[in-house]
Amino acid sequence: MYEENAVLHALCTRRSVRSYDSTKPVEQEKIQAVLTAGQYAPTGMNRMPTKFVVIRNPEMLHQLSKQNAEIMGAADRDPFYGAPVAILVLVDSTVHTWVEDGSLAMGAMLNAAYAVGLGSCWIHRARETFDSEAGKALLKQWGIPETYRGVGFCILGYAAGELPQPKLRKDDQILWID
pLDDT digits (tens, 9 = 90+) for 24-75: 999 999 999 999 999 999 999 999 999 999 999 999 999 999 999 999 999 9
Question: Can you say whether residue 46 is alpha, beta or left, with left for phi > 0 and alpha for psi between -120 and 50 degrees?
Answer: left
* Local confidence pLDDT in tens for the 178 residues of the chain: 567 888 888 888 889 999 999 899 999 999 999 999 999 999 999 999 999 999 999 999 999 999 999 999 999 999 999 999 999 999 999 999 999 999 999 999 999 999 999 999 999 999 999 999 999 999 999 999 999 999 999 999 999 998 888 788 887 888 889 9
Gyration radius from the chain CA atoms = 17
- Contacts of residue 176, defined as CB under 8 A and 6 or more positions apart, other chains included, come to none
The CA-atom distances, in angstroms, between 139 and each of 22, 52, 174 are 28, 12, 41
